[in-house]
Structure 1
Amino acid sequence: MTKQEAAGVKRPSPREVRRQQRIELSREQMLETAEELFAERGYYGTSLKDVAERCEFSVGSIYSFFDSKDALYLAVLMRRGSGQRAEMDRLAAAGTPAGERLAAMVKAELELRRKYPAWGRLQARMTKIGGLAAADVPEAYQDFHREIVDLLAGVIADGQRAGTIRPGDPPALARLCCALIDGFTLMDPMVGDEPEGLNAEEFLAFVRETFTPR
């Protein structure tokens, strides 16, 4: 007897398990499709009808998972966030010199955006014009982005105290670092729209030279 059964909790039937799996697959398909469309067309250029048509669902089926286009948009923006934040936390807390930690965090962000190119383009476009104060950027995403900036700023401050990272206001330098990542994302032929650009190793070398001058 399982612990669930001993506690009086019935195990779901195979049919119920299959139903839940279909529901989860449908939700993931909606998110994948919406991610592609928001990256291609932007928030205002994408409708729930567009999403429904591309993933071959009805608009009503989308509303069974998301209350509105805003809710779908936020889910797309945040769906990689927990893994991203956990990795950034881990790298920021590593016992290596600050310059190495900063480079590792930048590299991890680039790798995530290359793994999910539509999401990477969307992330880069969120901040390249107008900044995060724009009214159409969800507040939850603004908070999440500030957490990433704060982690970078903490590493930069550590390096400044050790004399290994250039002087300057840590939050401002962290925002500059994020802007560089966004710019590279839009130039990266594996993620962005431009046919050519710096390769990742050249970009990482540039970041190191910019923030840890000799």
Structure 2
Amino acid sequence: MTRSQVLDVAEHAFASAGFHNTSIKSIAERCEIAVGTIYTLFEDKDSIYEAVLRRRGAALHALTEAKASESGPADTTLVQLAELQIRYFREHSDWAELASALGSGARVAPPGAGSSHLYEVGHQVVADVLADVMARGQREGRIRDGNPQALALIFLGMLETFHRIDNANHAERPDYGLVEFLDLVHAAFSAPGPGEGNSGSPQPRRGR
């Protein structure tokens, strides 16, 4: 049983049972190892939770930075970044549940400030990367006007909302797919075309 395998088990346990209902003993039982073995790898439950968050978060940050640095029109890059994030959330749904909970105070999140601070730092790192893409797109004339940092935060808010829709129970899930969402992202942040205002809506004609 490797450290990575313990984190896999812990990630699922925290997401399914919540932080308070998950103990080191329950993690050890799921791993079929002794509790003492867990303590050779981690100091306590909080450190396990933090390690779970850091592992996937660091990988997503690296993927995001790599995609953002690729050449190509910024509006296309923005849509690609949205798809990258959604697919990563889908691939690591338990981790996505934990990361989302830190921002909402859901039951799967711990009460301490340490993990919340970790989330805030990670959120800001991604927001800074996105703001750079927004600013580049504005220089290219392909991204709408506005404070790049504010646009980045709006972008992240849209991602988090779609994740909640995407992760809802089938009976409660609105009929709204990834392709529709990516089209929405492109429409929301692309610079208006000729004859359109900054809202993206056609400007009223003057006179006849």
Report whether the alignment pairs 1:113 with 2:86.
Answer: no
CA distance in 1, matches of 2:190, 2:184: 10
Which one of 151, 173, 187 corresponds to residue 173 of structure 1?
A: 151
Which one of 141, 165, 185 corresponds to residue 187 of structure 1?
A: 165
CA distance in 1, matches of 2:138, 2:9: 43
Larger displacement relative to structure 2 (202-211 or 47-56)? 47-56
Residue 96 of structure 2 aligns with an amino acid whose one-letter code is G
Residue 36 of structure 2 aligns with an amino acid whose one-letter code is G
Seq. identity, %: 35
Which one of 121, 134, 142 corresponds to residue 156 of structure 1?
A: 134
CA distance in 2, matches of 1:140, 1:125: 13
Which one of 104, 120, 125 corresponds to residue 101 of structure 2?
A: 125
**Number of residue pairs the alignment of both structures matches:** 184
Which one of 54, 73, 87 corresponds to residue 63 of structure 2?
A: 87
Unmatched segments (≥5 aa) in structure 2: 107-111, 193-208
Q: Stretches of 4+ moved more than 6 A in 1? A: none
The answer as to whether partners of 2:74 and 2:134 remain within 8 angstroms in 1 is yes
Q: Where in structure 2 are the equivalents of 1:1-80 lying within 5 Å?
A: 25-80=1-56
- SS of the aligned residue for 1:165 comes to coil
Deviations 1:9-56 (A, max 9, x none): xxxxxxxxxxxxxxxx43222111111122223333422223223222
Unmatched segments (≥5 aa) in structure 1: 1-24
- Coordinate RMSD, CA, aligned: 2.2
Larger displacement relative to structure 2 (169-178 or 137-146)? 137-146
Indicate the residue corresponding to 2:199 in structure 1: none
CA distance in 2, matches of 1:43, 1:162: 46
The answer as to whether partners of 1:74 and 1:138 remain within 8 angstroms in 2 is no
CA distance in 2, matches of 1:46, 1:171: 37
The answer as to whether partners of 1:157 and 1:170 remain within 8 angstroms in 2 is yes
Residue 178 of structure 1 aligns with an amino acid whose one-letter code is L
The answer as to whether partners of 1:39 and 1:122 remain within 8 angstroms in 2 is yes
Aligned CA distance change for structure 1 residues 44 and 174 (closer, same or farther; 3 Å): farther
Deviations 1:111-169 (A, max 9, x none): 11111221122222222459xxx835353443232111100011111122333222222
- SS of the aligned residue for 2:76 comes to helix
Residue 107 of structure 1 deviates from its aligned partner by 0.9
Indicate the residue corresponding to 1:101 in structure 2: 77
Residue 168 of structure 2 aligns with an amino acid whose one-letter code is D
Deviations 1:54-96 (A, max 9, x none): 2223322211101111111111011123332222112111221
Q: Where in structure 2 are the equivalents of 1:140-155 lying within 5 Å?
A: 140-155=118-133
Name the TM-score, length of structure 1 as normaliser: 0.76
Residue 180 of structure 1 aligns with an amino acid whose one-letter code is M
Name the TM-score, length of structure 2 as normaliser: 0.78
The answer as to whether partners of 2:143 and 2:191 remain within 8 angstroms in 1 is yes
The answer as to whether partners of 2:102 and 2:119 remain within 8 angstroms in 1 is no
